[in-house]
Each structure stands twice: as C-alpha cells, then as structure tokens.
Chain A
Amino acid sequence: MNPTNYIVLSAILFTIGTVGFMIRRNAIVAFMCVELMLNATNLALVTFSHMNGALDGQVAAFFVMVVAAAEVVVGLAIIVTIFRTRGSASVDDANLLKF
C-alpha cells in the first residue's frame, strides 16, 4: 500500500477541519473541527512511522491523543462556563474583550 495515499487523505481531512473551524460559529462544532485536525495529524504520524520502520511516530501519535484529551476537558469546561454566564455557545457572542 502506497503511503502517499494515506498522506493525501490526512491532508484532505486536515483541510476540511481547517475550513470547518473557519466557517462554523458554534463553539462546540469548531472544537470538533480542531479534533478532526488532530486526528488527521495522527494519521500522518502513523503513516510516517510505518514508512520509516520506526515506532517513534506511533509514540508521537499517542502523546497527541493524551494532549487532546486534556485539551478537550479544559476547552469544554470553558465552553460550559461561557454558556452559563452569557447564555450562548456562539463564538461571535463572546466579544467583551474586543477593542
């Protein structure tokens, strides 16, 4: 199996995640797009690991998963707190710090 296919798939998924992050207003969906980007990166890491015959890429993907878990916990707690105080989960509504 040609590893280029996996890399291209990973690039497409990363791009879709980026576009979704830019066009979606709901904070939770934007956050899901970040997760999709992290997943696409993991696929690239695992593919590189397979290609080079070294397990280091898999360890890197494992660390990405750990950091993503921590990030999701804190990020969702922030979203819940903002929703509680402002009554909205839209990223456009949290604009009090704007000039």
Chain B
Amino acid sequence: MIIMFIPLLIPLVTGASVAFWLLAPVMILGALGMILSRKPVHSAMCLAAVMISLAIQYAALQAPFLFVVQIIVYTGAILMLFLFVLMLVGVDIRESLVETIKAQRTLAVLAGLGLGSLLIFAVGNAIIGPNIGLRADNEEYGGNVQGVAALLFDRYVFAFEATSALLITAAVGAMVLAHRERLTKRRTQADLAETRMQRYAETGQHPGPLPTPGVFARHNAVDTPALLPDGTVSDLSVSATLRARGTILDSRDLVKPVDQTVEAITDENSPHTTEEEQP
C-alpha cells in the first residue's frame, strides 16, 4: 500500500522543502536560545547556528552568492567580531533579573506576539501570483554571481559607490571611538619595580611573582589551587577570573588525600606501618 504511493510522493518532496522543514525548527530554537540564555557567549553560538541555517535557506532559494556571503561575512566576520568584543568586555558579566520598568518582560512578550501575528497574517497573506523562481534570471548572464554583478554595476552602481563611503566612514569611526588618548606618562619597568618595592615596604605585600597553580598526582591545571606548607590553600595561586566563574576545584578535595597520607605515615599504630616495620 505504501509502496504504491512512493512514486507519487517523490516529486512532491524537493531538496528545498527538506532543507526548510529540517532547518526552520533549528532556526527558531536557535533564536529562542539566543534571547533566553544567560551567558552572552551562548547567545552568540545560537546566533551562529541561526545564521548558518539561513545560509542554507538562501542556497535553497537559488541565491548561491548570498549563501557564500552569509557564511563569510555574517558568520565569519560579524559574529567573530561579536565574540572578540565579548572577550574584551568580559565573558563573566551576568544580567540582573530585576526589572527596571514594572512587568517589562510580560509586556514585551505580549507586544511581540502582537507584532508576530500582525506580520504573519498581514505580510504572509500579501503573496499573490505564481512562484516564478530564478532559473531564467540566473541563466541570463551565465550564473547567479554574474546576474547579481550585472545589476550591482549597472542599475545600483550609485548605491554601490555610496557603500564604499559608508565602509570607510565606519572604519574611521571605529578607530576614533576605540582610540584612547594617553593622558599620563607611560610607566616604565623601573617605575613598576619601584612601586612594587614601595608597596612591600609599606604593606608587606610580596614583591615577587604570584605562586603557580598546584601540582598534584591527579591535577596540575590552572584551576588547581596550590597548597601552602601548613596545609592551607593559597588563594593567590589561581586566577581571580576562574574563581569568579566558579570553575576552580574544591580545595577540600585536594587537602583530603594529603591529610590521609600524612595521617597514614605519622600514625604509628596503623597495622600497615607496623607490619612493614616489624620484620
């Protein structure tokens, strides 16, 4: 029974519709994950998933040039710029969940639902006429890239020239905004050493480098705090960023085996030690 229908079904299912129905849920989930995740880095990753899926939709819509540009410019350049700035501004920033305007989130979601239904029912129904497709246009000059180029350098040449001015202005603007004027004298190494020794003389702070992370039989990574000779944990031996992120190892887990070993060695009544010592 099913086998009879397969020849009927196959012409209905095209690559474009498979790509659409596979990727549309991914895109919507990615977009929701972007606005709902607490960490900005997760938001950026979700946005990357949405953008790459969008590129595949462009390919399915007979736009191979935009498919490549979407991956190179959007996912490759713009999103990586976002990630660079995230690293610069600090990955650890968490948003406060206190609402400045009362019931702002509820109202925003309601407004979003209204806007969405408006867009879907108004603009979604505006489509009339047959779906022509781009086969003829793409073949007119021998390909999609040639067709886009013919439009870009003929009908839209002034807009294209204007974008060059826009890009130069953006580059100059970014340099002006990110540039920092030096207001104080540059501090040399001699100055830094002097400050360090001054601080040592006044507060007794150790002038040397900070202690390295702990080296244990099971761990020696940077998230492992070192133990001081008296068995306590040195707080200076791990980075403050790692501690703020809460990813350092628990110091009690590190101290426990050391204590057990010390106990086993020093405990004279332990059967293990006595057996070895008696013969």
Question: Contacts of A77 on B, CB cut-off 8 Å?
Answer: 173-174, 177-178
Considering the chains assembled together, what is the distance between the CA atoms of A39 and B22 in angstroms? 19
The answer, yes or no, to whether B85 is at the interface (CB within 8 Å) is: yes
Per-residue CB proximity of A58-99 to B under 8 Å, as 1/0?
A: 110111011111111110111111011000111010000000
Contact B119 A51, beta carbon cutoff 8 Å: no
Contact B31 A28, beta carbon cutoff 8 Å: no
Contact A65 B74, beta carbon cutoff 8 Å: yes
Contact A92 B69, beta carbon cutoff 8 Å: no
Question: Contacts of A76 on B, CB cut-off 8 Å?
Answer: 81-82, 85, 174
Closest chain B CB from A75 CB (angstroms)? 9
Contact A16 B28, beta carbon cutoff 8 Å: yes
Contact B93 A65, beta carbon cutoff 8 Å: no
Closest chain A CB from B37 CB (angstroms)? 9
Interface 9-residue window, one of B128-136, B228-236, B250-258:
B128-136
Please count how many residues in chain A sit with their CB below 8 Å of the partner chain's CB atoms: 72
Considering the chains assembled together, what is the distance between the CA atoms of A11 and B27 in angstroms? 12
Specify which of A33, A77, A78, A90 lies most central, judged by the most chain B CB atoms within 10 Å of its CB: A77
**Known contacts A22-B112, A79-B89, A53 near B20 by CB under 8 Å:** no
Per-residue CB proximity of B131-163 to A under 8 Å, as 1/0?
A: 111101110000010011001100110010001
Closest chain B CB from A79 CB (angstroms)? 6
The answer, yes or no, to whether B274 is at the interface (CB within 8 Å) is: no
Q: Name 30 A/B residue pairs within 8 A (Cβ), A-sorted.
A: A5-B24, A9-B27, A12-B120, A16-B28, A19-B35, A19-B112, A20-B31, A20-B35, A26-B93, A28-B86, A29-B35, A31-B82, A32-B44, A36-B31, A42-B54, A46-B57, A46-B63, A46-B66, A50-B131, A51-B129, A53-B136, A59-B152, A59-B156, A65-B74, A66-B166, A74-B173, A79-B89, A80-B89, A83-B88, A88-B93
Which residues on B are within 8 Å of A, measured CB to CB? 14, 16-17, 20, 24, 27-28, 31-32, 34-35, 40, 43-44, 47, 50-51, 54, 57-58, 60-63, 65-66, 69-70, 73-74, 77-78, 81-82, 85-86, 88-90, 93, 95-96, 100, 104-105, 108-109, 111-113, 115-116, 119-120, 123-124, 127, 129, 131-134, 136-138, 144, 147-148, 151-152, 155-156, 159, 163, 166-167, 169-171, 173-174, 177-178, 180
Which residues on A are within 8 Å of B, measured CB to CB? 1-9, 11-20, 22-26, 28-29, 31-33, 35-36, 39, 42-44, 46-47, 49-56, 58-59, 61-63, 65-74, 76-81, 83-84, 88-90, 92
